[in-house]
Amino acid sequence: MRILHSIFLGLAAAAISNAATGQTDPKLTSAVVPDPATVSLSRAKTDPGAVELIARAAYRVSIKNGAATYLNRASFNAQTSVVQLTTDNLVAGAVAPFDTAVQYIQVSGTTSANCVVNVTDSTKISCNFGDSQLAPGDTLEFILVVKSPYSGGRIKFDWNFGGDEGNGGGNGCCTKYDKTYTELIDPVANPDQVNRHAQSFMVKNVLDQAFTGTTGGVATEADPWATFVDLKAGYLGASYTKLTLDELLNLPALGSCSALNKNQCWLSNISIPATTWTVANPLIIRLDRHSSIIKNGSKLSNYIIQYSTDVAGSYKDLKFCSLGGDPPSLGAPSLGIPCIDVCVEIPLTSKPSPFIWRCTIRALDNGGYRAP
């Protein structure tokens, strides 16, 4: 009797262990890829007039039922956590919730992913496929969107995919467990990168604005060059895209900059793949320059903004969108030819005579913009 009891306990322990690790089947494939691999931390408002940036991470999920039978009760489940850059130690108080305004974005496949964020814990999501079934040969690709936290080193994305083989169910087939990570730009370790870089997955009608720095895209003496981009809701193409902002300065490859700006070359590279805009609802780009990097006595009207739709290519002078003006007006932007909506001097009150020289650009596509 003791021997039978011992065998029973051994079998039970094996079954529990197997359930924890999950079985796999080479005919059932699943993968998750973070896209982009690095995103900005979200940035809170610094004052009532500033803009908050809620950056997004995205996870592209691909699954396939290569078996000869249906998968019953097939599901994909995921949970996020915020961990340190080099370990899986949790970052206290930091969360990366799934975006309930998006739920999921279907990329391919005829079966719906049917993803729903957990109503009591927004770091969890569950996706059930159609009538809880995946037919033989079915493939499906979809995107899950996560809000970036305000602190932390990485978003950890734990996931599992599985189901029972056979239309009748109960066979206990296969569940795959895995994890992936999205790296976060740490403002403590990389303050300069935060001031000059922003990266996020963009969802139409959900996330339309992004900026460099931590002051809502407004230039300061500590961060004297700021780039603010407003995609609005009118961009054409897919319902999602990625945005990358990079600011560079003092670039020898661009040639000599005017002494009016203390021989500093300032450049904003704006990358928003596979998107265009309309004249009625253009891409808005705002370039801020703090007076601390403008030579005293400079005539601001002499400043020229240049652009290139190929950052490695030659730069051309921007003209004004409005009628009249100097240089002559374009009237409106066109593909590859943006125009200046307005340049204004914004006074500041923090100390005597500081100001921001702010130029707003209307564009139908993106590229590189050199300093005014």
The DSSP-derived string for 245-270 is EEEEES-GGG-PPPGGGTT--EEEEE
Q: Which residue has the higher pLDDT, 300 or 123?
A: 123
Whether the CA torsion 229, 232, 235, 238 is positive or negative: it is positive
The fold of the 23-185 domain, in CATH, is: Immunoglobulin-like (2.60.40)
pLDDT of 328? 52
Q: Is the pLDDT of residue 134 over 60?
A: yes
pLDDT of 329? 59
> pLDDT, tens digit, for every residue of 312-350?
667 888 888 875 545 555 678 888 899 999 889 888 776
pLDDT of 63? 93
> pLDDT, tens digit, for every residue of 3-45?
333 332 333 322 222 333 344 565 788 999 999 999 999 987 7
Residues whose CB falls within 8 Å of the CB of residue 198, separated by 6 or more in sequence, listed in order? 40, 53, 55, 210, 211, 212, 243, 244, 245
pLDDT confidence band for 119 (50 / 70 / 90): very high
pTM comes to 0.83
pLDDT of 13? 29
| Percent with pLDDT over 70 in the chain | 80
User: Which backbone phi and psi does 51 adopt, to 5 degrees?
Assistant: -110, 140
pLDDT of 59? 98
pLDDT of 120? 96
CA distance 72 to 218: 54
Q: Is the pLDDT of residue 107 over 90?
A: yes
Strands 28-34 and 368-370, sheet pairing: unpaired
Secondary element (H or E) of residue 357: strand 355-363
> pLDDT, tens digit, for every residue of 163-187?
776 655 445 567 889 999 999 987 7
pLDDT of 158? 98
CA distance 165 to 50: 54
CA distance 235 to 283: 8
Q: Which residue has the higher pLDDT, 195 or 94?
A: 94
> pLDDT, tens digit, for every residue of 189-225?
777 778 888 999 998 888 788 888 877 888 888 888 8
pLDDT of 257? 56
pLDDT of 166? 61
Residue in the block written with tokens 């300061």: 220
pLDDT of 24? 54
pLDDT of 153? 94
CA distance 212 to 288: 11
pLDDT of 65? 87
> pLDDT, tens digit, for every residue of 248-264?
876 655 555 554 444 45
pLDDT of 84? 94
Q: What average pLDDT does the chain have?
A: 80
* Coil, strand or helix at 17: helix
